[in-house]
Structure 1
Amino acid sequence: MNLSAWVQLAKIQAKQGRVADRIPKLAKANPDWFAAHICCKSGKTVSFGDTASFFPLMSVIKTFSLLYLLEHFGAETVFGWVGVEPSDAPFNSLEQLIADRGYPRNPMINSGAITLADKLTGKDASDRTLLFCQWLNQLAGCQLRLDEIMLASVRLTRSTTNEAIANYLAKTSHLENPETALDTYEQICCISGGVEDLALLGKLLACENGCLSAQNRRIVNAVMSTCGLYEASAQFAVRVGLPMKSGIGGGLVAIVPGEGAIACYSPTLDTVGNPVAGLAFVEALSQKLELSIFG
């Protein structure tokens, strides 16, 4: 079986999902779009599908805000702010945050990501987003940028759940300024690019480079493995065996440690909020090529 056959298989499965509709601009995505980009340590790349598609990273960015803060503040400080426990509740669960007394379970769910957005360096939300985006582009050699139209759409339909999460985090002294934290979180989720940009970001985590601490890369990959696909993380650790992170914008990145990264874009999501076709494609690839990190 070749790559094009796996793509066709993934696209057939995509029909089981649906495009995210809470944010008006996201709802306009064509459910048939599919793109993938594979970049290897050697420099070899493989790209196919609707590769000109430009999409917001949404929750995929959580992986890289964690990396950024680990590099700037160190693991001990960062894990004073958020935990590393997997969650079996939805990614935007306020109930779980309350049960945990305001200490976010992990950086890959909204409570953890909003908390970390509050810690990014910069004088205000826009400055933080710009500095963070520049850091990623410089390190990975990609061309990410803030999609202002997507951000306007997000602000138009601001999640009341996220507002409640931010307010509870502030009430329990885990946030200093809930409005700035939420504004920063919404902006970084609207950092956008194509599958090649996302694969280059993934390659930062996959391969040794002189710019990032090996320990921080290992930490981020471990957290992705256990938490990156929300409550479906354990299921896909068994089926795929690669650190992965998804976003409701349709992005998915999979890390093959020491080898490279696989990035996919497919807008239809399953009930958990993960891209159906992207996961089906990475699963087929991992199983056929025996890519699982678990040997």
Structure 2
Amino acid sequence: MVCKVISSDLILQAQDKAKIGQLPDYIPWLSQADPNGLAIAFISLDNQLESHGNIEQIFPLMSVIKPFVLLYLLEQLGEELVFKKVGQNPSNLPFNSLDQLEIDNGFPRNPMINSGAITLASLLMGENGFNRCEKLRFWLNKQAGCQLFLSETILNSVRSLPNFRNQAIVEKLTAKGYLENPELALDTYNHICCLSGTIIDLVRLGLLLVKGSDLILAKHCQIVREIMTTCGLYEASADFAQKVGLPTKSGVSGAVLTLIPEQGAIACYSPPLDAQGNSVAGLWLVEHIASLIC
């Protein structure tokens, strides 16, 4: 059982590791997060739950929503259409890299970086960003048994400062014909990144990708897991896959979700980030726990 390896000492070590990380400064809400805040949860295939830390802490999923957008669209639209719009190849460049788009002639390399996620957001159905986000939220809550909600506070914080890099990505995608309504695509992307919840909500989402459901094709879960393994941590993905070998996705809020095949899922939250935008303490915890239970 994972509860035998997530010790208080392990958490204290992770909090110490977090001190070398930095809070992101381009979203005011994230820059004001408690750098000492930490929560971790494990859920097994039979729904046994073990959690530590501040499990009541609310945080936005940010990029951790990306695997679930992919899953939702695979279910709604099918593989052929989805992968005409976005690739499945890893990138060695940052998650918001314009150089990667230039190298690929405007084609989004994978769904886990911003260009791919914005493109997939453009495929969600609904008349505006809010309605599109609500349909995704309702579906995920129903499938995973979680209670995600859209945080207007965090959405307003995201909107309060211009994200010139994402705007440039949208312009490039539009110029190359991958977006028809760039403003709606970016607004939808901003909405879905602000879907929020607790560490328990996040770990239940992870369990959905591990065990699936009668209403989701097992192949679609497998595709998402594979892309998480190769692309989920941006340019750190290959190194982490070699060391740990588990499907993992991070977000700049400090969230990390890791899937353990045939066992369950681990979710971590610790806001300080490394240079690649991944939670320092989260990745450290996952690596150490994986070495004990895998």
Q: How does 1:62-101 map to 2 (within 5 A)?
A: 62-101=66-105
Task: Find out whether 1:131 has 2:135 as its counterpart.
Answer: yes
Shift of 1:10: 1.2
Q: How does 1:184-263 map to 2 (within 5 A)?
A: 184-263=188-267
Task: Find out whether 1:162 has 2:166 as its counterpart.
Answer: yes
Which amino acid is 1:156 matched to? S
Partner of 1:287: 291
Moved more, 271-280 or 4-13: 4-13
Q: How many angstroms apart in 2 are the aligned matches of 1:42 and 1:84?
A: 31
Partner of 1:140: 144
Shift of 1:158: 2.6
Which amino acid is 1:111 matched to? S
Q: How many angstroms apart in 2 are the aligned matches of 1:72 and 1:258?
A: 26
Corresponding pairs, count: 290
Q: How many angstroms apart in 2 are the aligned matches of 1:56 and 1:277?
A: 17
Q: How many angstroms apart in 2 are the aligned matches of 1:232 and 1:156?
A: 29
Residues 205 and 257 in structure 1, CA contact (< 8 A), matched pair in contact too = no
Please point out which of 31, 44, 49 is paired with 2:35.
31
Residues 254 and 261 in structure 1, CA contact (< 8 A), matched pair in contact too = yes
Report SS of the residue matched to 1:269: coil
Show CA shifts across 1:248-293 (max 9, x none).
011110001222110010000000000010111111000112x2xx
Residues 5 and 289 in structure 2, CA contact (< 8 A), matched pair in contact too = no
Task: Find out whether 1:116 has 2:130 as its counterpart.
Answer: no
Partner of 2:155: 151
Shift of 1:5: 2.0
Which amino acid is 1:269 matched to? L
Q: How many angstroms apart in 1 are the aligned matches of 2:78 and 2:62?
A: 24
After superposition, the CA RMSD in angstroms is 0.9
Shift of 1:106: 0.3
Q: How many angstroms apart in 2 are the aligned matches of 1:269 and 1:60?
A: 14
Report SS of the residue matched to 1:263: strand
- With normalisation by structure 2, the TM-score equals 0.97
- Structure 1: gaps (5+ residues): none
Which amino acid is 1:234 matched to? A
Report SS of the residue matched to 2:228: helix
Show CA shifts across 1:53-84 (max 9, x none).
10000000011000000011111111100001
Show CA shifts across 1:124-159 (max 9, x none).
111100111111001111000000011001011131
Residues 54 and 192 in structure 1, CA contact (< 8 A), matched pair in contact too = yes
Do the aligned partners of residues 159 and 256 (structure 1) sit closer, same or farther apart at CA in structure 2, a change above 3 Å counting? same
